[in-house]
A and B are shown apart, each in its own frame.
Chain A
Amino acid sequence: MAAELAGLDMATMVPDAASGSGPLPVVRPGVLRRLRRDRLAVAGAVLVGVFVLAAVFAPLLARHDPIEVAALDRLLPPSWDHPFGTDHLGRDTFSRIVFGARWSLGTAVVATTLVMVVGVVVGTVSGFYGGRLDAVIMRVVDVLLAFPRLVLYLAIVGTLGAGIENLFLALVIASWAEYARIVRGLVVSLKQRPFVRASLAVGARDLRLMVRHILPNVVAPVVVLASLQTGQTILALAALGFFGLGVEPPTPEWGTMINESRLFLQTEPGLMLWPGLAISLTVIGFNLLGDGLRDVLDPRLGRSKHDKS
């Protein structure tokens, strides 16, 4: 919760990835085997897996329509037919949580992918060409990283209006900078490496150099960042949903569900607890998985975040 609340991002405190020495991180064989030995990472993978399966098989798991209003079934307690009870409109909470995984998780994955592509492309170009362009881009990155995320999200969505396109736009604008900074640092140091200089010397074109020789070497840190960022994105989407600025009701998105249940806090606290639990468990899953991946793939990246041993 800290990051989204304080608008802080611990990753911004991570020393520049390019400043260390030693071999650059690459995806090595045996990653999965080593990841399996990290019990916390396995727990994270299981949590994420459960919610991914819930999203994929939502129509099979849910016994009720997540949107259909049933006036006679309002605020029912948990039962065999309604494992988590029903909400103020008689909708089955379990079905809404399960379908909500599609919205919350699906949107976060799409958004994280968009952010990643923008950040990697800008970071690669910036680091590869250097010069004035690089200086300008890095200034913009500095500005964005120094700024509380939540304020950016609220300003963008608050100005342009709620809706899925504007959510994506806000997430991309507010988050690409982090990828760009890390990728740019890696590219700058990769440029000095013999294999890149060699292919430059034999006249490889820029695009080929970037795609064939540089991109494969930035995959590992980007994957780690993406895993940790997916959790942050879920939190951001949930926060906007909580403010009533996320996807429109009656869509079963977890943050929006919490917003809808605010009126019933005193009488029906359960309505708030289920989506709250779903958000928390999913984000814990991504954070554990991301930490584990970082330890396995890239011990140097962001050590200051979660541990130091």
Chain B
Amino acid sequence: MIAFAARRALALVPTWLGISLLAFILSTASPGDPAEIILGRRQEEPPTPQQLDAFREQNGLDDPFVVQYARWVADAATGDLGTSYRSGDPVLGELTSRVPGTLQIVVPAVALAVVLALAVGVLSALRRNSFADHASRVGALVADSVPSFVLAYLLIIVFSVELGWLPVAGRGSVRHYVLPVTTLALAVTAGMMRLLRSSLLDVLGEDYMRTAKAMGLRWGTIHLRYALRNALIPMVTLAGITLASLATGAIIVETVFAWPGVGQYVIGSIFDHDYPVIQGFVVFTGTIFVLVNLAVDLAYHRLDPRVRPVSGGTGGR
């Protein structure tokens, strides 16, 4: 197990390096001279050429690309994602301090989505080609096509503006959670439901299901103990990845509902041209993704004995 975990972790290092390279290229492409911006914010009068040169010398801004990248990666790997232009504080701290806010809506949303997907997906697979099956599949397609900000505004218009039941935005009482969580959950349910439906159909077609039936096991035992349990394995991946992608940015929902989280902070940074935050966010997201991928790989290893002799390499994303 430990050897397996180490191997998977090593395989993810190039992915992380790739993401950090992308972020670094972006940082070199950002408009404006970092020396001028940072010095300009530190002092009243515009920086003199001598000051600029000294600052560049001191921070290695004149070094070759490769040297700068190497230093940047070394910093990033040790948790130094640079300093925000606006606040002057470390980017990593700015981001992590906002993660709890995001998680407050993301965790209930993913839980709700899993429950919804389970209910609809199981019904859809067991009553295949029934009206409910067709309806849920068309529903999933529509859910995939409506932008989440449109859905969010629709919910606001109906439940806040017209009915006046729920607050439009902000946070405070439990009622503030209802609309953001619902929007997020509906946005990710479709994908989960489709995955569950197709993996359940796959399992139902397996030989061991026929054997179980032939042996006279009860319907409930067959479908719940054997079918659903095996069909849930791919859901682990999707739920994990969904959690990660929402955790790093329920960006749209946070913007619509003025919810203080990572996404809203990053959007604010974009409008304030706070480039180190934007690039730090890319590395931050990449890191979380790499870690979640690793966690999912390890969970698979435990849940599904068939994948245990893993060959390593690029498979299994």
List chain A positions with a Cβ less than 8 A from chain B: 1-8, 10, 12-13, 40, 138-140, 142-143, 145-148, 150-152, 154-156, 158-161, 231, 235, 238-239, 242-245, 255, 258, 265-266, 269, 272-273, 276, 279-280, 283-284, 287-288, 291, 303-309
Q: Does B223 contact A (CB under 8 A)?
A: no
Q: Is the CB of B248 within 8 A of A4?
A: no
Specify which chain A residues have a CB less than 8 angstroms from the CB of B22 in the assembled complex. Answer: 143
Q: Is the CB of A272 within 8 A of B157?
A: yes
Of the residues A1, A146, A155, A304, contact of B317 by C-beta under 8 Å: A146
Q: How far is the CB of B10 from chain A (nearest CB, A)?
A: 14
Q: Is the CB of A266 within 8 A of B168?
A: yes
Q: Is the CB of B146 within 8 A of A265?
A: no
Specify which chain B residues have a CB less than 8 angstroms from the CB of A291 in the assembled complex. Answer: 141
Known: A12-B317, A276-B154. A242 touches B252 (CB 8 A): yes
Q: Is the CB of A1 within 8 A of B151?
A: yes
Q: How far is the CB of B313 from chain A (nearest CB, A)?
A: 10
What CA separation (Å) do A144 and B146 show in the bound complex? 24
Q: Is the CB of B195 within 8 A of A13?
A: yes
Of chain B, the residue at the smallest CB distance from A8 is B245
Of the residues A159, A239, A303, contact of B275 by C-beta under 8 Å: A159
Known: A154-B266, A266-B161, A272-B153. A161 touches B31 (CB 8 A): yes
Q: Is the CB of A151 within 8 A of B148?
A: no
Of chain B, the residue at the smallest CB distance from A231 is B145
Known: A139-B14, A146-B289, A284-B142. A5 touches B188 (CB 8 A): yes
Specify which chain B residues have a CB less than 8 angstroms from the CB of A242 in the assembled complex. Answer: 147, 149, 252, 255
Of chain B, the residue at the smallest CB distance from A158 is B270
Q: Is the CB of A239 within 8 A of B147?
A: yes
| 8 contacts across the A-B interface (CB closer than 8 A) | A1-B144, A2-B188, A13-B195, A139-B14, A142-B317, A160-B30, A243-B267, A306-B141
Q: Is the CB of A147 within 8 A of B286?
A: yes
A-B interface contact total, Cβ < 8 Å: 193
Q: Is the CB of B19 within 8 A of A143?
A: yes
What CA separation (Å) do A157 and B168 show in the bound complex? 29
Specify which chain A residues have a CB less than 8 angstroms from the CB of B195 in the assembled complex. Answer: 13, 304
List chain B positions with a Cβ less than 8 A from chain A: 14-15, 18-19, 22-23, 26-27, 29-31, 128-129, 137-138, 140-151, 153-154, 156-157, 161, 168, 184, 186-191, 194-195, 197-198, 201-202, 238, 241-242, 245-246, 248-253, 255, 266-267, 269-271, 275, 278-279, 281-282, 285-286, 289-290, 293, 314, 317
Q: How far is the CB of B139 from chain A (nearest CB, A)?
A: 11
What CA separation (Å) do A11 and B66 show in the bound complex? 35
- Majority secondary structure, B binding face: helix
Q: How far is the CB of A134 from chain B (nearest CB, A)?
A: 11
Specify which chain B residues have a CB less than 8 angstroms from the CB of A269 in the assembled complex. Answer: 153, 157, 161
Of chain A, the residue at the smallest CB distance from B201 is A308
Q: How far is the CB of B107 from chain A (nearest CB, A)?
A: 14
Specify which chain B residues have a CB less than 8 angstroms from the CB of A1 in the assembled complex. Answer: 143-148, 150-151, 186-187
Of the residues A138, A258, A283, A284, contact of B149 by C-beta under 8 Å: A258
Known: A8-B241, A154-B266, A159-B26. A143 touches B317 (CB 8 A): no
What CA separation (Å) do A10 and B138 show in the bound complex? 16
- Majority secondary structure, A binding face: helix
Q: Is the CB of A306 within 8 A of B194?
A: yes
Specify which chain A residues have a CB less than 8 angstroms from the CB of B151 in the assembled complex. Answer: 1
Known: A3-B144, A276-B153. A148 touches B197 (CB 8 A): no
Specify which chain B residues have a CB less than 8 angstroms from the CB of A155 in the assembled complex. Answer: 23, 26, 278-279, 281-282
Q: Is the CB of A2 within 8 A of B286?
A: no
Specify which chain B residues have a CB less than 8 angstroms from the CB of A231 in the assembled complex. Answer: 145
Specify which chain B residues have a CB less than 8 angstroms from the CB of A158 in the assembled complex. Answer: 269-270, 278
Q: Is the CB of A265 within 8 A of B157?
A: yes
Q: How far is the CB of A104 from chain B (nearest CB, A)?
A: 11
Q: Considering residues B23, B145, B148, which has the most beta carbons from chain A within 10 angstroms of its beta carbon?
A: B145
Of chain B, the residue at the smallest CB distance from A269 is B157
Specify which chain B residues have a CB less than 8 angstroms from the CB of A152 in the assembled complex. Answer: 282
What CA separation (Å) do A151 and B244 show in the bound complex? 12
Q: A154-B266, A155-B282, A306-B194 are in contact. List 17 more A-B contacts (CB 8 A).
A: A1-B144, A1-B187, A2-B189, A5-B187, A6-B191, A8-B241, A143-B15, A147-B286, A150-B249, A155-B278, A159-B29, A161-B31, A269-B161, A280-B142, A280-B145, A305-B194, A307-B137
Q: Which 3 A-B pairs have the closest CB atoms?
A: A158-B270, A276-B150, A143-B18
What CA separation (Å) do A197 and B105 show in the bound complex? 56
Q: How far is the CB of B280 from chain A (nearest CB, A)?
A: 10
Of chain A, the residue at the smallest CB distance from B199 is A304
Q: Is the CB of A306 within 8 A of B140?
A: yes
Q: Is the CB of A154 within 8 A of B251?
A: yes
Q: Is the CB of B26 within 8 A of A147?
A: no
Specify which chain B residues have a CB less than 8 angstroms from the CB of A159 in the assembled complex. Answer: 26-27, 29-30, 275, 278-279
Q: Considering residues B143, B195, B252, which has the most beta carbons from chain A within 10 angstroms of its beta carbon?
A: B252
Specify which chain A residues have a CB less than 8 angstroms from the CB of B241 in the assembled complex. Answer: 8
